[in-house]
A and B are shown apart, each in its own frame.
Chain A
Amino acid sequence: MSFVEHLQIWIAAFFMLSLFSFLYKDNPFYKLAEHIFAGLSAGYYIGLVWHAVILQTMINPMIQDGKWWLFIPGLLGVMMFSRFFKGFHWISRYSLAFVMGNTAGIFLLSELHGKVIPQVQATMRSVDPSQGFGGLLLSVIIITGVISTLLYFYFSKEHKGLLGGVAKLGIWFIMVSFGAHFGYTVMARISLLIGQVQFLIFDWGGSIQQIFF
């Protein structure tokens, strides 16, 4: 391992241990690592936006393809910065209205066309009697689960009587789903933790062994 490789591993290990030190209590090492992490993440977005958006989507097409009109969204983007100036912050509303309206237009169709209808279609099509008892049971679970979940989130009428009963069933389904999600999330986090511990033991430990022993 070269000096640079050792240095890289030691820097990564130092900041990882600094962050893990918060498990004991808040301390200056954690604070330093946390602030550096926040700064690097913000800096990362500057690099990303500069290359993927400003250069590739705006400046290069303007210069190379003659799409001069792309200065308009650029101007709208610059207008966003008027939020920092008292008395002029209303100018940023124009840019915000453009983004909000456009996103609303995209969402209005994509949510209905790409989510609601396909999900309802998939639920209806889950009924397949040719799959035997197991398939039928699964269909019943899916259809009952979808309807009861939707009715649980229907708050325009008080959850009493039949609606109350179905909503109660809905919350049981929701609890099963949340439990499943929780189990998955825990296992994903533990998998990450194992990866970090492996780095500390094998990479950093290997570096210590090479340097000191």
Chain B
Amino acid sequence: MRTTVPVIIAFLSGFVMILAFFFNPEKSFIGRLEPEVLAWVTIVGGFTLLLGVVSIVRVNFTAVKRRKENWPYKLATLISIFAMAIPAILPSSWSPLLGTGTGSIYDWLFNYLDAPMMSTMFAMLAFYIASAAFRAFRARNAEATLLLVTATLVMLWRVPMGEAFLKSIHGDLPQYINTYIMGGANLAVQRGIIIGAAMGAAAMSLRIMLGIERTYMGK
């Protein structure tokens, strides 16, 4: 009951999607099932996201309640969650500040707090990437040298001053980087990785549907 039923559900819900692929959605009920089941997955997936947020609230609330270390910061997290979520959930017909439309509290918090902080977080990675590169990019062997040379060439190629420098070495060098590194070696490796990962994902999907892979149930 606790293990067999989920395996049957997993098989049937996957099998429906495979079956629907082979049927015409305009002429058969099974074909029309595909968008319907996708909507079901979207709904359950949405609740999964909410589950994550509820979990964050529980963890932080417990920490604040028990006055654990750094609890004022956790209180700030809780206040931020509710400040963003409550006005978003309330209907915009009550006030233009509610809902998620332009001019709402949700929109304002996103534009002036969330988005700038997100960009700053990513921008800060520039410093850490540079620091990591300084430590990792040492021409100790052929592989590391290839990594170093390619990264340097691409970084130079992506800025006008660097491109001018590359052109001063050889007029067609930027074009060669674009064609043979980005459109050649890089493309080939990406294709190899995509093919390998896709085959792995397909194999894993089959394992899940057949009930061989049950780690998602904690088994």
Across the interface, A40 reaches (CB within 8 A) one of B114, B121, B179, B196, namely B114
Closest approach, in angstroms, between the C-beta of A33 and any C-beta of chain B?
6
Contact B124–A23 (Cβ < 8 Å): yes
Find residues 55-80 in chain A having any chain B CB closer than 8 Å to their own CB: 57-58, 61, 70, 72-74, 76-78, 80
Q: Mark B157-190, 1 if CB is under 8 A from A, else 0.
A: 1110000000000000000000111111111111
Using known A-B contacts A46-B50, A179-B154, determine if residue A115 contacts B18 with beta carbons closer than 8 Å.
Answer: no
Contact residues on B (Cβ < 8 Å of other chain), bracket: 35 or more
Q: Contacts of A192 on B, CB cut-off 8 Å?
A: 119, 122-123, 126
B-side contacts of A20, CB under 8 Å: 120, 124
Contact of B119 among A100, A101, A195 (CB under 8 A): A195
Residue A187 CB within 8 A of the other chain? yes
A175 x B150 contact (CB < 8 A): yes
Is A134 interfacial (CB 8 A cutoff)?
yes
A176 in contact with B119 (CB, 8 Å) = no
Per the CB 8 Å criterion, the residue count for chain A at the interface is 113
Contact status B116-A36, CB under 8 Å: no
A40 and B44 in contact (CB under 8 A), knowing A182-B147, A183-B154, A186-B130?
Answer: no
Select from chain A the residue with minimum beta-carbon distance to B196: A153
> Given contacts A101-B11, A186-B129, are A11 and B113 in contact (CB under 8 A)?
yes
B29 contacts the other chain (CB 8 A): no
Q: Which residues of A contact B108 (CB under 8 A)?
A: 8
Q: Which residues on B sit within 8 Å (CB–CB) of A152?
A: 192
Asked if A176 meets B186 with Cβ closer than 8 Å, knowing A12-B112, A94-B9, the reply is: yes
Which residue of A is nearest B16, CB measured?
A: A105
- A-side contacts of B81, CB under 8 Å: 39-40, 42-43, 46
Q: Determine the distance from Cα of A178 to Cα of B43 in the docked complex, in whole angstroms.
A: 37
CB-based contact B9/A101 at 8 Å: yes
CB-CB under 8 A for A105 and B14, given A93-B217, A123-B191: yes
CA distance A43 to B88 in the complex (A): 9
Out of A32, A78, A138, A178, which one reaches B179, CB within 8 Å?
A138
Assess the B43–A145 pair: CB atoms within 8 A.
Answer: no
Min C-beta distance of A48 to chain B, whole Å:
8
6 A-B pairs whose Cβ atoms sit less than 8 Å apart in the complex: A43-B85, A101-B208, A112-B202, A115-B198, A172-B143, A193-B123
